[in-house]
Amino acid sequence: MRRALLVVALVVTGRSAVAQDSASFANVDRETALRLTRIVDSARAHGLPTEPIVAKISQGALFHSSPERIVSAAQAVATRLEEARSALAPKPTPADVVAGGDALGVAGVTKTALQAVRATSPNRPVVVPLAVLAQLVASKIPVSRATEIVTGLIKRGATNEQLVALGNDVTADIVRGARAIASLDVRLQGLNAILAPGALTTTASDPAGLTSGSGPKKP
């Protein structure tokens, strides 16, 4: 039965998959298939991207999770997508919604953090900033600090490439044994030199120079 759930993941993307191709479910727990189909169809009807839900179903099948656990995980993804769309209103792209849902799947990331990123970048896609936010939080940077850093860098004109490099560099430093906060502080100081026209006023508690009152010194 568990192996057959992979079939569900592959066909559930079609509208009313059970009704259209019941032969595909010949060896599948029909109740589970119906529940998964309802979750995906409901998300689609509400205008949400369904790919992350299907991917979660496929992952559950691959790891031989129980049907109940797969259903629960699929519903959780759908719920996060809905919350992400709400937080990133008024007009998030589907990619924004997926990135927001992924971020909310990281322990500690909140709708408030997503709203802060959106407020800082109201008219641009926020896929990269959200991904970096999630990456920093997953690296054990407190969500408030990670949010402040990402939004502060956006305000100062950091490019997507620079944000990605920051997240990847911190992750690489941690793999090599560095503490997350220490790595972040060092990497931010290097980024400051590129973004700022002059030296930054920083403190031990704010080495990024991102809090109110910090910024480039006038010549």
Read off the pLDDT of residues 127-146 as tens digits, 9 standing for 90 and up.
999 999 999 999 999 999 99
Q: What is the mean pLDDT of the chain?
A: 81
Q: What is the pLDDT of residue 163?
A: 97
For range 101-126, the mean pLDDT: 97
Boundary residue ending a domain (36, 68, 87): 87
Boundary residue ending a domain (53, 70, 87): 87
Q: Which of the pair, 62 or 197, is modelled with greater confidence? A: 62
- Do 98 and 162 reside in the same domain of the chain? yes
Q: Is the model's pLDDT at 216 over the cut of 70? A: no
User: What is the tens place of the pLDDT at every residue in 161-214?
Assistant: 999 999 999 999 999 999 999 999 999 998 988 885 533 333 334 444 444 444
Contact assessment for residue 95 and residue 110, using Cβ atoms and an 8 Å cutoff: no
Give the chain's radius of gyration (CA, Å): 21
Per the structure, the complete domain to which residue 192 belongs is given by 89-219
For range 53-58, the mean pLDDT: 89
Nearest residue to 160 (alpha-carbon basis) of 194, 133, 128: 128
Task: Report the share of the chain in percent with pLDDT over 90.
Answer: 62
Helix, strand, coil % over all residues of the chain, rounded to 5: 65, 0, 35
Q: What is the pLDDT of residue 44?
A: 95
Residue 138 CA to residue 11 CA, distance in Å, equals 32
- Note the Cα 9 to chain centre separation in Å: 22
Domain count, the chain: 2
Q: What is the pLDDT of residue 32?
A: 83
Q: What is the pLDDT of residue 20?
A: 34
- Do 130 and 67 reside in the same domain of the chain? no
Please give the structure tokens belonging to residue 156.
Answer: 């100062």
- Do 83 and 109 reside in the same domain of the chain? no
- Do 97 and 150 reside in the same domain of the chain? yes
Residue 186 CA to residue 144 CA, distance in Å, equals 19
Residue 212 CA to residue 30 CA, distance in Å, equals 57
For range 8-34, the mean pLDDT: 47
State whether residue 171 is helix, strand or coil: helix
- Do 131 and 120 reside in the same domain of the chain? yes
Residue 13 CA to residue 54 CA, distance in Å, equals 7
Q: What is the pLDDT of residue 24?
A: 29
Residue 178 CA to residue 16 CA, distance in Å, equals 50
- Looking at the DSSP bridge assignments, the partners of residue 216 are 200
- Looking at the DSSP bridge assignments, the partners of residue 203 are 206
Residue 4 CA to residue 57 CA, distance in Å, equals 12
- Do 94 and 195 reside in the same domain of the chain? yes
- Do 168 and 62 reside in the same domain of the chain? no
Q: Is the model's pLDDT at 123 over the cut of 70? A: yes
Q: Which of the pair, 167 or 12, is modelled with greater confidence? A: 167
Residue 11 CA to residue 19 CA, distance in Å, equals 11
Q: Which of the pair, 214 or 37, is modelled with greater confidence? A: 37
- Do 128 and 219 reside in the same domain of the chain? yes
Residue 165 CA to residue 142 CA, distance in Å, equals 19
Residue 97 CA to residue 167 CA, distance in Å, equals 20
- Do 64 and 118 reside in the same domain of the chain? no
- Do 1 and 66 reside in the same domain of the chain? yes
- Do 81 and 119 reside in the same domain of the chain? no
Q: What is the pLDDT of residue 9?
A: 39
Q: Among 16-20, 25-29, 50-54, 109-113, which stretch is predicted with the lowest mean pLDDT?
A: 16-20
Boundary residue ending a domain (87, 110, 127): 87
- Do 43 and 54 reside in the same domain of the chain? yes
